Amino acid sequence: MRFLSVFAGIGGFDLGLERAGWQCVGQVEIDPFCRRVLAKHWPNVVRFEDVREVTGELIRERCGDVDAVVGGFPCQDISFAGAGAGLDGDRSGLWRELYRLICELRPRFALMENVAALLNRGMGRVLADLARIRYDAEWSIVSACSMGAPHMRRRVFIVAYPYGVIRWAGIRDFANREDALSEIDRFASARIGYAERMANPSELYRDADGVPFGLDRSRAVGNAVAPDVAQWIGERINNALRG
């Protein structure tokens, strides 16, 4: 599964999907610090800076055909910590650029991620946009701690695909599990992990106590998609295709 990573950040989505056997063939990221991280770990992948200047034609020319377009588009205007401009905001409004690339490339799959507040601040528009180009969608909130991470990090993930191409239960199965929430999200283990990690904050924040770029690291990690969640979703798509 060859994929284009939009709003790639430091490559959390990319790392998780590659662990699921996918291949990253292109990355779009405007932040200079994040691009340096991407260049270190994906030296042979084609990179673009400004999503507003990237076209489907350019992607095909530089990266070849892509099976999937993935992206955690900016959340600042969607988050409850923000002013609430939603998809009309300058940052979260970049959803329009991700959507444009989906329209131009018509991939087999489009994977999107954002804060859980998207369900109240823009989900209807995202789904309407996808429906306009005849894409079905499945979605669910998946917490990082459900994969064993030492923090909660609730995020909504959307998996979209051309209408009528595939029928499957999708990631909603996760949300429909009958286990107690404490078992699904493993709050107990998350609290234990948090206590262990905070015992050595220097290790947690990658030597942010005085080493240059500490703030850049913390910001980049804070914006990243949890790789374990991305891997889990990629594997479920693999399984659906096999079935």
Please list the active-site residues. Answer: 75
Q: What are phi and psi of 180, to 5 degrees?
A: -60, 145
Among 174, 95, 109, 98, smallest CA distance to 140 is for 174
**132 is written with which tokens?**
């306009």
**154 is written with which tokens?**
């609730």
Place of tokens 């051309």: 162
**95 is written with which tokens?**
């959803």
Place of tokens 């309407």: 128
Q: In which element (H, E) is residue 137 found?
A: strand 135-143
3-state secondary structure of 81: coil
3-state secondary structure of 109: strand
CA end-to-end distance (rounded Å), the chain:
16
Place of tokens 């056997």: 21
DSSP state of 92: G
Q: In which element (H, E) is residue 71 found?
A: strand 68-71
- Residue-wise burial string across 168-187, b where 16 or more C-beta atoms lie within 10 A, e elsewhere: bebbeebeeeeeeeeebbbb
- Name the residue type at position 102: I
